[in-house]
Amino acid sequence: MTSATAFSSGKVIISGEHAVVAGQPALVSSINLGLNIELRPRSLAAEMKTDDKFDEYSAHVVNLLSKQINKEILLDKCDIFVDSNLPQSTGLGSSAAYAHALILALAELLGINLSEDEIFNLVWQAEHFKHGQSSGLDPAAVVFGGLQTFQNSDGKILKNQIKTHVLDNKQFWLINSGSVTESRKDLILGVQARVSINSRLKQVIKRIGEIGQLHVHSLKKDTFNHELMTENQRLLEELEVVGDIAKEMVRDIEKMGGVAKIIGSGGVKTGSGFLLAYHPDSEILATLIKNKNWSVQPITLGN
């Protein structure tokens, strides 16, 4: 048995959190952070010392691939080594990236060819297992990469790559507002319950979808309308998925002329995951970050 390695990037949602679950379009981008998986044969000494099994999620991904190729995959003598700079529960798509990289590594190890659409469907099924019903946004983001629109319209997947260089020289930051305590499933179900009985929130969901389309129109004209991020953030606050810590951080950034928004399902009890932040003058935001002693990561979009 030989070793195999594979990499998958993470993602950020520029617009579309929660609205994409309701069938609205979203704008999502892969980023220059990600996760690398290496499959190595377990040494004889290691085999004698341990009978560790794959974790439940890894085993599920292996089972999905086994069904896809109609062949049992036995990896009891294999170790998985992960090198990742995608923290969990922060909105960066770590679980989808893990499934994606593991499938790619397994395919290399087994010498099988899978199309991107086949890989997307496998990662999508893995996300169902991990988080409950998934819109498919995270799997699409990590498998197809780049900057893309995504919409799940009654089970029909609509996605388009956006070709633009307008974001190439713009500095974005991921600012950590703290790990999310709630599960993504609970946050999504909570929003769905509130929307079902509140006509105003139905309009909020629709408007978030429209903002994604406005972003696309702007990008196709080689401009980036960063002020749309502020409106998107306020709408997410109306959905009650942004905690006080994140709100305060966003307001501090806005006071300095910048913009910021959550990039995942959010979180209220503790942190809300990472914020995507931008300022037309990156030095101003860099100074604020330093003064606040925030935990940050500079990123580029569309990788």
The dotted CATH code for 4-161 is 3.30.230.10
Range(s) within the chain of domains with CATH label 3.30.70.890: 172-299
Higher pLDDT pick, 67 / 43: 67
pLDDT interval class at 79 (50, 70, 90): confident
Average pLDDT value over all residues in the chain:
91
211-270 tens-digit pLDDT: 999 999 999 999 999 999 999 999 999 999 999 999 999 999 999 999 999 998 999 999
Distance between CA 140 and CA 23 in Å, rounded? 15
Q: Does domain 172-299 have CATH number 3.10.310.30?
A: no
At residue 242, the pLDDT reads: 97
pLDDT digits over 174-203, tens only?
Answer: 999 998 899 888 999 999 999 999 999 999
Higher pLDDT, 106 or 43: 106
Cα Rg for the chain, rounded, in angstroms?
20
CA distances from 79 to 82, 88, 123, 126, 274 (A): 10, 21, 21, 20, 31
Residue found under tokens 């969901």: 205
- Strand pairing class (156-161; 4-15): unpaired
Question: Looking at the chain, which residues constitute the CATH 3.30.230.10 domain(s)?
Answer: 4-161
Residue 134's nearest CA partner among 80, 82, 189 is 189
What is the structure's pLDDT at 195?
A: 97
pTM, entire model: 0.89
| Whether pLDDT at 75 is above 90 | no
Residue 279 vs residue 130, higher pLDDT: 279
